[in-house]
Amino acid sequence: MDDITWEEPFCGEGASCFRLGTDATGNAYVAIAGAEDAALIDSREALRRMILDIKAGKADHLL
């Protein structure tokens, strides 16, 4: 997983920090900061869809 471009961590108050990353082959990665070697891997389109769904409120029941 050396060719991943990681974004800065997204951190909540007193919570784990999550990182998003992408690579040149179209994969997207979601990991807890500091545990990038255990990232969830899917397509960039899947990451895009997840972000759009979260922004649309489809995960609000988890808050």
- pLDDT tens digits, 44-59: 999 999 999 999 999 9
The confidence score (pLDDT) of residue 2 equals 64
Query: pTM of the predicted model, to two decimals?
Result: 0.81
pLDDT in tens, 5-19: 999 999 987 778 999
pLDDT at 1 over 80: no
Upper half-sphere CA count for residue 21 (Cβ side, 13 Å): 24
Rounded distance, CA 17 to CA 6, Å? 13
Q: Give the Å distances, CA to CA, from 14 to 27, 33, 51, 60.
A: 29, 14, 22, 19
The confidence score (pLDDT) of residue 14 equals 73
Rounded distance, CA 63 to CA 43, Å? 25
Rounded distance, CA 20 to CA 33, Å? 9
The mean per-residue pLDDT over the stretch 30-35 comes to 95
